[in-house]
Amino acid sequence: MTTKPSALDPAVTERIGAFLRAHGLRRMASRIAVLAVLEPVNGHLSVAEISQRLRECLPAGTPPPDLATIYRTVTTLVEQGVLHALTLENGVTTYGLATDPHHHAVCTRCGSIIEVPAQQLTSALEHAMAGSSFSLSERAGLTLHGLCPQCQAEGQEPRIQPRQR
Ligand SMILES: [Zn+2]
Ligand SMILES: [Zn+2]
């Protein structure tokens, strides 16, 4: 394999390569590219969104991995515990880094997902356990719904909507 995502910062490629090796995984270009896209997100992306972002960050002339390759890549990374999957109510499966225990906040308007560190919701979980007979763990993964910062900002501006009569 000589193809490599040349638009990626060599330091990032190096660091993610070392990370893959630490997990006993081969440093394939597609794995490095997918992780490089997901790393700064601090949330989840679907395969289509990963593909879209790869297309934006690779230079013209560098073909991005196709959807099937990205799908295989994220599936392998989930199996290896590097990523974890979250399926939304609309049936779309999204992928995020499986690092520290975290919960998810889903934007009800645009569907973006950010991760909320579990420790920020420890007392919420304790209260929920006290009020129910459920045993809830930080690994259980709460899904919260609301508006992301971008959609909040858009909600404050008058939206220009085409009028149809
Ligand atoms: Zn997550
Ligand atoms: Zn949003």
Above 90 in pLDDT, residue 68? yes
Q: Is the pLDDT of residue 87 over 50?
A: yes
Q: Can you read off the two tokens belonging to residue 87?
A: 């399926």
Please state the domain extents for the chain. 1-97, 100-165
| C-alpha of residue 1 to centroid of ligand 1, in Å | 31
Q: Determine the distance separating the centroid of ligand 2 and the alpha carbon of 133, expressed in angstroms.
A: 33
Q: How far is the CA of 97 from the centre of ligand 1 (A)?
A: 6
pTM score > 0.75 for this model? Answer: yes
As assigned by CATH, the class of the 1-97 domain is: mainly alpha
Q: Are 33 and 47 in contact (CB under 8 A)?
A: no
DSSP string over 83-134: EEEEE-TTS-EEEEE--S-EEEEEETTT--EEEEEGGGGHHHHHHHHHTSS-
What class is the 100-165 domain?
alpha beta
pLDDT mean over 8-27? 91
The per-residue pLDDT for range 96-129, each reduced to its tens digit, is 998 788 899 999 999 899 999 888 888 888 888 8
- Rounded Cα gap, residues 51 and 67, in angstroms: 7
- pLDDT for 85 equals 93
Domains 1-97 and 100-165 share a fold: no
